[in-house]
């Protein structure tokens, strides 16, 4: 995580939490940072990774991940179609 630009401590306000196979994904607002307004927390086996983001950075990450997910889905569908046409 980036260091805080303000003198006050950072506080986190969770908005969305998703438990998933031994870990938890969480996102929300970060307070006390002069630039970043959002955070993503990845907690696996009690170990936190927190990424602080501006809204435009969060949008860019969502965009590239949605592209990767879409591409993965299309690759799977094509692979299934090829396998069924061979049989």
**35-78: per-residue pLDDT in tens?**
999 999 999 999 999 999 999 999 999 999 999 999 999 999 99
Identify the band that residue 85 occupies on the pLDDT scale cut at 50, 70 and 90: confident
Coil vs helix vs strand at 35: coil
**Average pLDDT rounded to a whole number, residues 1-30:** 84
Residue 86: predicted pLDDT:
81
What is the C-alpha to C-alpha distance for residues 82 and 65, in angstroms, rounded to an integer?
A: 26
What's the predicted TM-score (pTM) here? Answer: 0.77
Quick one: pLDDT at residue 7? 46
């Amino acid at each position: 995580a980036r260091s805080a630009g303000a003198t006050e401590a950072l506080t986190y306000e969770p908005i969305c939490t998703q438990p998933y196979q031994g870990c938890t994904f969480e996102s929300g607002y970060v307070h006390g940072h002069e630039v970043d307004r959002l955070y993503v927390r990845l907690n696996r086996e009690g170990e936190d990774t927190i990424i602080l983001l501006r809204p435009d950075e969060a949008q860019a990450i969502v965009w590239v991940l949605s592209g990767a997910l879409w591409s993965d889905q299309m690759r799977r569908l094509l692979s299934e179609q090829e396998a069924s046409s061979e049989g």
